[in-house]
Amino acid sequence: MSSYPVSNRELSWIEFNARVLSEALNHSTPLMERLNFLSIVSSNFDEFFMIRVASLKTAIRQKEHSFDATGIDPEILLSDISDRVRQIMDQQYRCFTAELLPALAKEGIEIVAPPKWNASEKHYLNGYFMDKVFPLITPLRIESDAFPSVGNLQIHCGFELETESGAKNWAVAQVPRSANRFVALPKPAAGQPSSQRYALLDDIIMSFAPSLFPGHKVLGSLAFKVIRDADSGVDEETPGDFLMAMEEVLAGRQNSTPICLLASGNEPSILHVLQKGLGLGDIDTYNLNGPINLGSFYEFIMNEEQLQKPALQKAHLVNKPWSPISLSEFNASSIWDEIDRGDKLIHVPYESFDQIRDFIDQAADDPSVLAIKMTLYRTSGDSPIVRALIRAARNRKQVAVIVELKARFDEERNIGWASTLEQAGAIVTYGVARLKVHAKAALVIRRTKNGSIRKYLHLSTGNYNEKTARLYSDLSILTANEDLCNEASLFFNMLTGYSTIQSFNLLAVAPFDLKKRLIMLIEREVQRSSSESPGLIMAKMNALADPGIIEALYNASRAGVRILLNVRGVCTLLPGVPGISETIEVRSVLGRYLEHSRMLYLRNGGMEEMYLSSADWLPRNLERRVELMFPVLDEKLLKICKNILQTYFNATEHAYRMCPDGKWEPVTPKPGEKPISAQEMLYKRVKRLKEAAEMPQEQLKVRRRFRTE
């Protein structure tokens, strides 16, 4: 148990999901964006149960007496989790059923429950069921000694049946994944309102279930979903093919230990049978007041075909689009010349990911490029980055790629890319034994015109994934700094060969020295702080729960260092506690983009330093993953990063403040002040950079003089 105050990580994560829900409850948010936040709440809970609650249940089975630094008993924690999750889910579904469904109906899309189907719709759906659904369904009986296979996260229907003799039976049927969940009902007659009505496939199956069970009466039905343990990984001590072992883990995930049961429908007898067959209790069962998988509603309605319907006016349903901006400095014919002129900072999604893709594309096609070395953690299904690497390998360049096969939920995709890269002639390694390679780096080795070797480096806080780069806020640098490039070269040798652990001057590498470097930087800020010039630490990350880092921050606060933390998700540090963390402030910013960048600023007695990193301040990142932290060496870029950080702490919209008791409250503008959205301000900053770059120099000088005066 910790000797200083901290909150529980699991409960802190749930409060993050409560903040996401707050964005959905905000009536000033466009309708489809509210639905998106509701869908995020559902998908977040799916992963939370698969990973965090699965780990907690393992601790209960192993009879552990304490789960974390708070000293809480695992069974008490499971009860607390269950209670708080129910509260959030109740709010989520009240919003969906009482607010969003009626609002969607006004916009021309109605999701119609069976009691509201009219006679002609019932007749149509009966024919639809028999023709297109019935052949796809495989009913499975539930026997007292054998529960049928129910895959992870798949929607199923459960049935209570009665034979002609009065005997009770139970059965399940999976909702076909190959069929559209949303079935369009017949168009209304001429002169009637033109809204499009839809029925859910799970409702259709339950409504026409008697056809599935001849000789039985259907007494009741409900839709349900099982969430299973996805926390297990491959045993890396086992000899044999690592790829094959990972494939076995993926296959086993569909039928791993059940963790919780989500159900829609008030049928106690069916729930009891499902609980018994799955080995789950009331604490593990969540009965939803609405349909399962809200994420599918957002995906369906945002389908381009739906948005183009005359009944829908897209503009007011979604946020005003912000198109990613390509700065003119990246439009030169040679990206190498541009990087040689100075380091480049790229801030996605405000700036275009194409700038990063062009770096790899030009490296693949440039005859002067000799080698490309790169880490791949998460990529898209049709990744242009991987295609460029394949092309480079076929162009007879040396391509060395560290593919992380243990990137959870992307394992199957990464296995496929690894095999394809190997077939193209690339050197592929599968991370490091027992450590996930979470660092994001790409090194290009190029021969210059005079025959010398020049290195170019990309370092990032985010993945090489052009799809998430439109949704995640991340920072990266492109540099030809010789010292950084040389250290990166040694870093890649550490990952692929037998190089001894290196101690770098510029890079910090987890699990070797990153945590130690962070604590050293925090302690140095204490040493260089005085009453006349107090120290200042500003940091941004996804999560903060490492005990050693928290203790160092508390010590710095007691010494008078001002500490501003922007933590998107989990934060077990408690700010503003008298005598412990009085100078610490914790904020959390949400919005249209997922905040993903990790940043660290230190005043350092006036010699300011800025670092970017792939690592959150969690034990797993600092002790059980390969991560990179790298400095922003260019003074101009350091100032830009500092401005970005300060923008988050100035936000009064989509922003939350953590209280000393661990609860969160919204940050609101002072009376008479206009709300400040951090993400909007950051997009406007990039737009101004674009405009300034394209403005004639004389006009730019006039504008600068006008602003000064």
Q: How confident is the model at residue 140 (pLDDT cuts 50, 70, 90)?
A: very high
Give residue 407's pLDDT band: very low, low, confident or very high (50, 70, 90).
low
Superfamily of domain 114-290: Polyphosphate kinase middle domain (3.30.1840.10)
What is the mean pLDDT of the segment spanning 588-606?
A: 96
Q: Which amino acid is it at 581?
A: S
> For residue 655, what are the β-bridge partners?
589
Within 8 A by CB and 6+ apart from 468, the residues are 378, 380, 462
Give tens-digit pLDDT for 356-383.
999 999 999 999 999 999 998 888 778 8
Residues of the chain with CATH 1.20.58.310: 1-106+294-319
Say which CATH superfamily domain 508-678 falls into. Endonuclease Chain A (3.30.870.10)
CA separation (Å) from 79 to 57, 65, 289, 456, 502? Answer: 11, 15, 21, 52, 46
Determine how many CB atoms are found less than 10 A away from the CB of residue 476.
Answer: 27
Which percentage of the chain shows pLDDT scores above 90? 73
- For the cut 70, the answer to whether the pLDDT of residue 163 exceeds it is yes
Handedness of CA 382, 386, 388, 390 (dihedral sign): negative
Residue 388, token pair as written in the block: 């460029």
Residue 695 — pLDDT band, cuts 50, 70, 90?
A: low
Q: What is the dihedral of CA 160, 162, 168, 172, to 10 degrees?
A: -30
Q: Tell me if residue 455 falls in helix, strand or coil.
A: strand
Q: Where in the chain is the domain with CATH 3.30.870.10?
A: 328-496, 508-678
Mean pLDDT of the chain: 89
Q: Write the pLDDT tens digit of every residue in 390-406.
A: 999 999 999 999 988 76
pLDDT class of 313 with cuts at 50, 70, 90: low
Q: What does the pLDDT average to over 470-485?
A: 96
> 3-state SS of the chain: helix, strand, coil percent to 5?
40, 25, 35
> DSSP assignment of 308-367, as one string?
TSTT--HHHHSPPP---B--GGG-SS-HHHHHHHS-EEEEETTB-THHHHHHHHHHHH-T
Is residue 628 within 8 A of residue 635, CB to CB? The reply is no
- Residue 191 pLDDT more than 60? no
What CATH number was assigned to the domain covering residues 1-106+294-319? Answer: 1.20.58.310
Q: 630 near 507, Cβ under 8 Å? A: yes
Q: Are strands 344-348 and 472-479 parallel, antiparallel or unpaired?
A: antiparallel
CATH 3.30.870.10 describes domain 328-496: yes
Predicted confidence (pLDDT) at residue 66 exceeds the cutoff of 60: yes
Q: Which own/partner pairs from 179-185 qualify as long-range (CB within 8 Å, at least 24 positions apart)?
A: 179/132, 179/133, 179/136, 181/155, 181/296, 181/300, 182/111, 182/296, 182/300, 183/125, 183/128, 185/112, 185/117, 185/121, 185/124, 185/125
Q: Residue 438 catalytic? A: yes
| Residues forming CATH 3.30.1840.10 domain(s) in the chain | 114-290
> Among residues 216, 438, 458, 596, which one is catalytic?
438
